[in-house]
Amino acid sequence: MIDTLPRRGEAGAGARTGIRLAAVLIGGLVVLLVATVLSLGIGSHVVPPRTVIDALTHFDPAQDDHLIVVRSRIPRALLCLVVGVGLAVAGAVMQALTRNPLAEPGLLGLNAGASLAVVVAISFFGVSELAGYLWFAFVGAAVAAVAVYALGTAHRSAATPARMALAGSAIAMAVGAVTTSILLSRESAYDQFRFWAVGSLQGRPLEVTGAVLPCVALGVAGALALIRPLNALALGDDAARALGASAPAIRLGGGLVVVLLAGAATAAAGPIGFVGLVAPHLVRLLVGSDHRALLPGTIVLGPAILMVADVLGRIVIAPAELPTAVAAALIGGPVFVALIRTNRRIAG
């Protein structure tokens, strides 16, 4: 499923990967930059690019356009960056830990856990502030992650992709049923919940980004520190042991990283699927599965994909706005299918 490192004997393999990685990083950054500029200009009220630049360089609070850009669209773009990085790197680490090409926060039940926690916060604890749900969502995602992992690896058997995915979908569906039935019984809770649950980046105050930023930063640092162990794990548990790495220890560290990243991203933006799945696959397709190249590429392409989705979501049914999660699935789905069709490493 995830193939091994380039062998030492393969002359030039490392150099080729380096060049490809540079291309991915530069290309990704260009896309990210363009999408960010568009994201600052496009919306229910279109601000021309010149005014966007003006607002950034010579901010004038008296001008409405400047206010829109600085007070509403910049926070949204920042959140998009943080969430995109969190989801994508979480997906890459999950795929490595579980050796499961389908691993991503949504499919392994983290979104479902976060959703249930938010609904419980609204219905039973009377929490009404976005900043208040944040920690509930975080805990919910973390509990779901631990539960799926524990189930997937119960009885000392290796965490096979099928077991892990089965555990994820079992927990997601059971937890989702409880969530929906609470919502069906309490209409006022549904009204609040749907603003969080549409997986939107709209109307999130800057404090939300501030609250999750340290978690995402810590998670990314942890993921980068795990590059060598993750590469060792890709060779199999036995091979990892032979290389002096303890598979359970790597899984524990990686699990913490995933919980930090995916928990923070989901808490801030609601359940957004596909970014965590598509970004690592796309990077793997372009640079191979050595985590030294994979993780940096993912860090750039993740937010680029989410930013493009966010911008398209505002264009497609303008003047109405498509929830970012829906836009992400509409873009991510076809990319994902195309990947499966073209990449022999994923599905033979």
Partner 1 sequence: MTGRRRTPVARSGVLRIASFSLRLDLGGMRLAAILLVLVLVALAVSLMLGAVPLAPVEVLRALAGDGEERILRTVVGRRLPRAVCALLVGVCLGVAGCVFQSLSRNALGSPDIIGFTTGAATGAVAQITLLGGGVLATAAAAVAGGLLTALLVYLLSRKHGVTGGIRLVLVGIGIGAIMAAVTDLLLVRAGIAEAASAQVWQSGSLTGRGWPHAWSLVAAAVVLLPLIGIAGRALRMIEMGDDVAHGLGIRVERVRFAVLVLGVLLTGVATAVAGPIAFVALAAPQIAARLARGSGLHLALSGLIGAVLLACADLLSQHLELGLRLPIGLVTALLGGVYLIWLLARRA
Binding site for partner 1 (CB under 8 A): 101-102, 107, 151-152, 154-157, 162-163, 165-167, 169-178, 180-182, 184-185, 198, 273-274, 317, 320, 322-323, 325-327, 329-330, 332-334, 336-337, 340-341, 346-348
Q: How far is the CB of 148 from partner 1 (least distance, A)?
A: 10
Q: How far is the CB of 184 from partner 1 (least distance, A)?
A: 4
What is the Cα–Cα distance from 196 to 34, expressed in whole angstroms? 27
What is the sign of the dihedral through the CA atoms of 144, 145, 149 and 150? Answer: negative
Sequence-separated (6 or more) residues with CB below 8 Å from residue 80: 39, 201, 303, 306, 307, 310, 324
Q: How far is the CB of 277 from partner 1 (least distance, A)?
A: 9
Smallest CA-to-CA distance from 124 within 179, 172, 173, 176 is with: 179
Q: How far is the CB of 181 from partner 1 (least distance, A)?
A: 4
| Residue 163 Rama label (left phi>0; alpha psi -120 to 50; beta) | alpha
Report whether 267 contacts 137 (CB < 8 A).
yes
Task: State in Å, rounded, how far the first CA of the chain is from the last one.
Answer: 9
Choice between 104 and 290, CB closer to partner 1:
104
Report whether 123 contacts 182 (CB < 8 A).
yes
Choice between 192 and 231, CB closer to partner 1:
192
Q: How far is the CB of 55 from partner 1 (least distance, A)?
A: 29
Smallest CA-to-CA distance from 254 within 283, 281, 227 is with: 227
Choice between 280 and 296, CB closer to partner 1:
280
Choice between 83 and 182, CB closer to partner 1:
182
Q: How far is the CB of 85 from partner 1 (least distance, A)?
A: 21
Q: Which of 200-214 are b and which e, b meaning 16 or more Cβ less than 10 Å from the residue's Cβ?
A: bbbebeeebbebbbe
Is the bond preceding residue 75 a cis peptide, omega within 30 degrees? Answer: no
Q: How far is the CB of 165 from partner 1 (least distance, A)?
A: 6
What is the Cα–Cα distance from 78 to 80, expressed in whole angstroms? 5
Choice between 63 and 160, CB closer to partner 1:
160
Give the max Cα distance, the chain.
66
Choice between 58 and 155, CB closer to partner 1:
155
Q: Long-range contact list for 181-184, CB < 8 A, 24+ apart?
A: 182/119, 182/120, 182/123, 183/119
Smallest CA-to-CA distance from 90 within 229, 253, 277, 232 is with: 277
Choice between 194 and 228, CB closer to partner 1:
194
Q: How far is the CB of 243 from partner 1 (least distance, A)?
A: 26
Q: How far is the CB of 295 from partner 1 (least distance, A)?
A: 23
What is the sign of the dihedral through the CA atoms of 267, 268, 273 and 278? Answer: negative
Choice between 300 and 325, CB closer to partner 1:
325
Choice between 63 and 169, CB closer to partner 1:
169
